[in-house]
Every structure is written in structure tokens, then in C-alpha cells.
Amino acid sequence: MNGIMYILSTGCQWRAIPKDLPRVARCSTISTCGVGTALWIACITHSMSSAASKANGKRVPPPPSSTAKREKRGKRGAWIDPHGYDAGKKIKGKKRHVLVDTLGLLLHAIVHGADIQDRDGGIMLLATMFGMHPFLKKLFADAAYQGPVFHDGLARVLPHIETEIVKRSDHVKGFAVLPKRWIVERTIAWLNRCRRLAKDWENLNRKGLAFLRLASIRLMLRKLCNPV
């Protein structure tokens, strides 16, 4: 685990791990394991989020589950998940969809190709929670999630959740802090302190999701050990 956290924090190559940490083959094998490792990391993330939220009197949900799909390719390795291209954001690769609470702690996340629109990825994110967080009552989202496609899909998977779209004012020029939206932007900034998440390095979506959850565990451990 120390070796994987070193890779997550520094973003270096696997063979650049210092000699006092576990062997490269051992760390690489653990990080590329399948659904079992994903479940283990997801359960740790759930436990850390529950412990960090107990001080605010929040209800603790049951642990999550995770699945992943992949296709066989010959480029960049034996197995690689399909990439995509977002013409609007001009991004080629993958996207990360995250769901956070009012404290900015990670509740759920998925990794998918960049060709999936935000509104469709939001439905995928909420549809894969499988009743993890029954205490959710209201969802804040940006303008990319407005429209009948997202709202109809949300009504099918989670009909009890109310959605509020936080829009940018047309009269404000330049940068402006929008209510509620800054919470998730701050969480993304916290997670991007880990250099492994700075770029799309991973061939497998499940591996990218594992590093994302490990970064969240690292963040919540620091919050628990160094309370303000």
C-alpha cells in the first residue's frame, strides 16, 4: 500500500519506486487486480467517508459495489478500455464523474470515455449507487445537467431526489464563485494534488477509479488525523 500511495502522490513510473518500498511487481499486481480490489478500495472509501461525516451527524449508508467493462486492444497494453473524444471540451481520453456531500467528501464516482455527455454520465453515476446513500434528498448540478434527458433519467433511477441547477449569471463577467458548485470544484482540486490523477495515464477504467478512490482515502485520512 505504501508503494501504491507513493505512485499516486508522485505520479512517477513503477520502476522509479524507491528500494525501501515493496517490489515493483508486487505493487503493480495489486493495482491491476480486478473487481475484488475495486470492492476492497470502495469499502475503505465508504468507511472513511462515514467516519469523517459522523462529526456532522450524517447517516451512514451501506458499503458500495463496483463493476467494469473492457475490450481487447493491441495498443498501450494487452487490455485497454475504449477512449472517447468530447468535441465541446476538446478532451480525448476519459472523464471522471464524482458525487460529493456538502463537506466535499467523495460519496461515489465512475470513470468512462470522454465521448459520453455529462448528462448521460450523471445518470450512469446515480444509477450505479444501488441504494448506497438513501439519505440523499437534493442534488446540486451545473447547467450541463439541465434538460428533459437528465431529469427523466433521474426520475426513473432515483425519483425521490430533488434537483437544483446552479446557473451562471449572464450579468457577471470573469470568474465568479457560484453557490454549491464550488464544493465539488474544491474536491476536484484536492484530488488533483495527486500527480497520478493529473493526466489520463490508465488503460483500464477500474484502475483509474481505484486511484481516484485511493486519493479520496488519502484526503479523508488527513482530515481525520488533523482535525481543524
Which pLDDT belongs to residue 31? Answer: 56
DSSP string, 148-200: HHHHHHHHHH-TT-EEEE-PPPTT--S--PPTTHHHHHHHHHHHTTSGGGSS-
CB atoms under 10 Å from CB of 74, counted, come to: 7
Q: What are phi and psi of 85, to 5 degrees?
A: -135, 125
Does a structural domain hold residue 147?
yes
Does a structural domain hold residue 106?
yes
pLDDT interval class at 140 (50, 70, 90): very high
Q: What domain range includes position 141?
A: 32-225
- Rounded to whole angstroms, what are the CA distances from 9 to 29, 44, 200, 211? 18, 18, 15, 10
Does a structural domain hold residue 4?
no
The pLDDT tens digits of the residues spanning 127-139 come to 988 778 888 889 9
The enclosing H or E element of 50 equals helix 35-53
Does a structural domain hold residue 12?
no
Does a structural domain hold residue 23?
no
Does a structural domain hold residue 199?
yes
The pLDDT tens digits of the residues spanning 152-174 come to 999 999 998 999 998 887 777 77
Query: pTM of the prediction?
Result: 0.77
Grid cell in block for residue 146: 439541465
Domain count, the chain: 1
Among the listed residues 114, 112, 111, 113, the one whose alpha carbon sits nearest the alpha carbon of residue 90: 114
Mean of per-residue pLDDT scores for the chain: 79
Q: Rounded to whole angstroms, how far apart are CA atoms 11 and 17?
A: 10
Does a structural domain hold residue 25?
no
Does a structural domain hold residue 186?
yes
Residue 177: CATH number of its domain? 3.30.420
The pLDDT tens digits of the residues spanning 40-73 come to 566 666 666 666 666 555 554 443 333 333 333 4
